[in-house]
Structure 1
């Protein structure tokens, strides 16, 4: 999916919601545990209930890898189901990969050829040659970790360069723009750092930002939109636990749909305020 197609979906659905499919087999409703593939059964119902209000889904790979080959099978089935029934949806592999070039090439092959994701999250620490292999695919995206929402972000991401005085996350933003373009490169910026979005927009005015941390982690959707939205929206705001675990009972899918619709309605108003 290219940038214009993604923006068109945002306009059509009046939403920039990304639903995180962080499916923990220990947290899904008990009545699903007898299913042949409980994780896929859960994902399928969540997707069906939220697809009308979402433009993207983001499975976090750790939740699937922790289950061994069965988890990979659940992930493959989930991706295939979304591709077949909701082909307009933008699919993100939240894998946080990044290694020497030949290894990154294999990661890229896995997520873009074998699993047919649109995007993959990548760690920038090892530099350009660890990121570039992911950019060799047309209409596929790298989502580079820039400023994350976790407490540990302060351990390294705010360390200032002795020469420029810029924090490390700004160096990541400025340097990486030489590796790709706004057509194939996004950035992860946590909603819990929403006050920094205005500064980030000065550095990256055109790139899409994937923004986790809204909802259970305490980030403000209004602040994210105020400081981070650009002329093509430029935001994918992720919510995981607040949607997929809205209920632990048999009405889990219905409640997830209600939670997604509530966020979408707020996003519609924020888009209108921006004139989009």
Structure 2
């Protein structure tokens, strides 16, 4: 998917919501455990109830890999269902990959060619030759971890390297990579005050922002500091939407939670006009 197509969907739906499909068999409604594929059954119900309210879905691959072949097959069925029924929705493989060049190439083929995701999250620690294999794919996006929302982010990401924080060096260096126009960046919502400085470094890039809702991030703060002229934000919510209810009405409850966020996003979009 092109960036222009993503922006078109944001304007059409008045939403820049990304729903995280972090599907945990210990948390889904018990009646679904009787299904042949309870993970896919849960995901399908969530997608059917919320697709008109969001512009992206982000399965965290760890929640599928944890269940072995059955979990991976559920992931395959989920992305196939999205690509077949909702091809205009942006898909993110939250895999946090990153390895030497030939290994990264194989990871890229797995997510971009086999599973046909639009994007994948990447850990940048190994540098240029671990990232560029992902950037080589046309109309696919590489979402680089820049400044994350977890407490451990302060262990490295905000440490000074010379005269600037490490995360700034990561962002600036990545902009020199081949096909850097295909880069997006992860910036945690709990780090909203950093967004204005990040926008100075990458004024036109999309930012994937997890951490609103359950993790305490503020949508209004993220928009204040991080929104650009074409929005440039994908705000992710996972637990705060998909686990709103553990009863038979779980999909409807998820839609109600997503609707609340979408309405707030429509208000923020109105400020751009």
Q: TM-score, normalised by structure 1?
A: 0.98
- Aligned equivalent of 1:48: 48
User: How far apart are residue 182 of structure 1 and its match?
Assistant: 6.3
User: How far apart are residue 181 of structure 1 and its match?
Assistant: 5.4
Deviations 1:84-123 (A, max 9, x none): 1111100000000000000000000000000000000000
Deviating beyond 2 angstroms after TM superposition, the runs of 4 or more aligned structure 1 residues are 180-183
Aligned alpha-carbon RMSD (Å):
0.8
**Mapping 1:233-248, distance limit 5 Å:** 233-248=231-246
Is 1:28–2:58 an aligned residue pair? no
- Aligned equivalent of 2:128: 128
- Aligned equivalent of 2:167: 169
- Decide whether the 8 Å contact of 1:182 with 1:206 is kept in 2: no
- Decide whether the 8 Å contact of 1:55 with 1:89 is kept in 2: yes
- Aligned equivalent of 1:230: 228
Tell me the number of residue pairs that the alignment of Structure 1 and Structure 2 aligns. 273
- Aligned equivalent of 2:261: 263
| Alpha-carbon distance between aligned partners in 1 of 2:223 and 2:52, rounded to the nearest angstrom | 21
- Decide whether the 8 Å contact of 2:241 with 2:258 is kept in 1: yes
Q: What 5-or-longer segments of structure 1 have no aligned partner?
A: none
Secondary structure of residue in 1 paired with 2:158: coil
| Alpha-carbon distance between aligned partners in 2 of 1:144 and 1:19, rounded to the nearest angstrom | 18
Distance change (3 Å), C-alpha of 1:182 and 1:4: farther
Deviations 1:96-155 (A, max 9, x none): 000000000000000000000000000000000000000111100000000000000000
Q: TM-score, normalised by structure 2?
A: 0.99
Q: What 5-or-longer segments of structure 2 have no aligned partner?
A: none
Secondary structure of residue in 1 paired with 2:241: helix
Moved more, 61-70 or 177-186: 177-186
